[in-house]
Amino acid sequence: MQAEIITIGDEILIGQIIDTNSAYIGKQLNKIGVEVYQISSIQDEESHILRAFEEASKRSNIVIVTGGLGPTKDDITKHTFCKYFNDELVLDKKVLAHVEDIFKKYVDTPILEANKSQAWIPSQSITLHNEYGTAPGMWFEKKGVVYISMPGVPYEMKSILTEQVIPRLQDRFKTPFIIHKTVLTYGLGESAIAERIEDWENKLPKFIKLAYLPSLGRVRLRLSARGEDEKLLKESLITAVERLNRVIGDIIKGYEDEQTLEERIAQAFVDRGQSLITAESCTGGRLASKFTEIPGASSYFIGSIVSYATSAKNDILHIPKDLISKYSVVSSEITEAMANRAKAMFKADYAIATTGNAGPSKGDSDAEIGTVFIAIASPEKTEVHEFQFGKHRERVTQKAVNKALELIYEAILKN
């Protein structure tokens, strides 16, 4: 079973917005065993849309379209569907009532004819109710191919997709089961991991595929099991992951869609009744945001001191100026002092401090661009680690965040 995703809108093609819809749709289709064959972004232009429909229908059983359903003249998707299906627009009174209700409740200005026009729907389509907006989705069928049109607004699209489209597709098509398990590893590159798990990988059942998904400072290993027997797939994945843990358990820090590393860290602190503070320079608060993304973080995470400038290190953390002059602002000694000061000031059990030179210039430091120091202050001691994360500013920062997460997790487990 194959699907194709078409996003309509000049704003995507010129880079004004990022197409997050396709990624979400692809993920949801994958869960029900539908393979995405191709993703295309095209202009709000009738001939382009018609050509895209025609080409997609030759390759796929399902064609999903987002965008072009607004009330303005450049939103031409409905009219193009009418031309493609030799159809006409008719008034859907339920949609009109919904549009009028939204304006009554949430909009101060009177409803315009342009807004009412969103209730005109191709007669051959099944209307997909849009709870959060005025543009409904539409479901068509032609010569065995299902065409689905949804608004481009992400939260509107997600609601229609998960609550209506996915259930309808499952009823309409018999799809195989596909189950994923994504293992989160930290500390080794994909080549080193591949070498360590080669024997394990060679022994995987044929219906389980492995993909390496490297990112900054970590590698995700995605196992995908596909087949007709759901119970067999689940049991086989559990066995495969158990065997993988025996091979590289030292670098496995969590599982995507289950318990991530950040969630494991939170659980470890809560279970021990201990607290954490961060003092950040080169990471600029990004490390703290990783902790606060997890609900209930206030039960262990005290907060963060973002002492980005040298003056902030002096004035907030009270790092002596002569110490900075002696060792440089990016150094093991200053990072250690930051962690110890933050820990003492807030009476925390643990503290993480980061300093580094992310570039493009060296600023107040003598360190090479890409140099990062991370200090972990625990109840027993303070350890400082030095890294070289390259010369790309964004990559340096993100690698520092990921490495700090890895180090604090290891530290709390040791204690």
Q: Which of 11, 17, 91, 8 is nearest to 46 (CA)?
A: 8
The count of domains in the chain is 3
pLDDT given for residue 146 in this prediction: 97
If asked whether residues 240 and 375 sit together in one domain, one would say: no
Mean pLDDT of 323-328: 93
Mean pLDDT of 378-401: 95
Give residue-wise pLDDT tens across range 107-132.
Answer: 878 888 888 999 999 999 999 999 99
In terms of Cβ atoms closer than 10 Å to its own Cβ (0-12, 13-18, 19+), residue 50 is middle
If asked whether residues 185 and 163 sit together in one domain, one would say: no
If asked whether residues 394 and 378 sit together in one domain, one would say: yes
pLDDT given for residue 174 in this prediction: 83
C-alpha span between 20 and 412 (Å, rounded): 36
Mean pLDDT of 243-261: 90
Which of 172, 201, 217 corresponds to the end of one domain? 172
If asked whether residues 101 and 159 sit together in one domain, one would say: yes
- The CATH number for 247's domain is 3.30.70.2860
CA distances from 209 to 37, 182, 202, 218 (A): 18, 12, 11, 20
Q: Which of 351, 307, 16, 26 is nearest to 166 (CA)?
A: 26
Alpha-carbon 384 to chain mean position: 30
If asked whether residues 8 and 142 sit together in one domain, one would say: yes
pLDDT given for residue 111 in this prediction: 87
pLDDT given for residue 124 in this prediction: 95
If asked whether residues 228 and 112 sit together in one domain, one would say: no
C-alpha span between 255 and 218 (Å, rounded): 12
pLDDT given for residue 386 in this prediction: 97
- The CATH number for 270's domain is 3.90.950.20
pLDDT given for residue 70 in this prediction: 82
If asked whether residues 165 and 183 sit together in one domain, one would say: no
If asked whether residues 276 and 392 sit together in one domain, one would say: yes
Which of 120, 141, 172 corresponds to the end of one domain? 172
Contact 216, 395 (CB under 8 A): yes
If asked whether residues 312 and 351 sit together in one domain, one would say: yes
The answer to whether the peptide bond before residue 176 is cis (omega within 30 degrees of 0) is no
Domain that holds residue 199: 177-255
C-alpha span between 2 and 60 (Å, rounded): 5
If asked whether residues 145 and 159 sit together in one domain, one would say: yes
- Among all chains, which residue has been given the structure tokens 């997790």? 409
If asked whether residues 100 and 45 sit together in one domain, one would say: yes
If asked whether residues 308 and 230 sit together in one domain, one would say: no
- The CATH number for 52's domain is 3.40.980.10
